[in-house]
Amino acid sequence: MLPAELAPTRSPARFVALAGAVAVLLTVALVGGMDVYQLGESTRHLRRTISEYALGPQRWVFDTAVLLLVSGSVAVLAVLVRHGVAKWNSVGSVAFAAWSVGLTLVVIFPKNNWAIGPSMSGSIHRFGSLLAFVALPVAAVLLARPWRRDPVWGAHARWTFRFGVLSALAFTPILYAIGVNAVVGTSWWRVIPLGYVERLLVLTEVVAVLVAAVWAVAVAHRPATPDPPAAPDPLVTPDPPATPDRPGGAQEYRPSSTSL
Q: Give residue limits of the domains in the chain.
A: 12-221
- Average pLDDT in the 233-253 region? 46
Beta bridge partners of 246: 243
Q: Which residues lie closer than 8 Å to 185 by C-beta, 6 or more apart? A: none
The Cα–Cα gap between 53 and 38 comes to 11
pLDDT score at 172: 95
Measuring CA to CA, which residue among 214, 208, 219, 211 is closest to residue 81? 219
Instruction: Report the mean per-residue pLDDT for the chain.
Output: 84
pLDDT tens digits, one per residue of 127-182: 999 999 999 999 999 999 999 999 999 999 999 999 999 999 999 999 999 999 99
Residue 252 has pLDDT above 70, yes or no: no
pLDDT score at 236: 46
Measuring CA to CA, which residue among 110, 113, 134 is closest to residue 124? 110
Measuring CA to CA, which residue among 28, 35, 70 is closest to residue 53? 35
Residue 15 has pLDDT above 70, yes or no: yes
Residue 71 has pLDDT above 70, yes or no: yes
Q: Which pTM value belongs to this model? A: 0.80
pLDDT tens digits, one per residue of 16-40: 999 999 999 999 999 999 999 888 7
- Angle 247-249-255 from CA coordinates, rounded to 5°: 135
- Return the sign of the alpha-carbon dihedral for residues 36, 38, 43, 47: negative
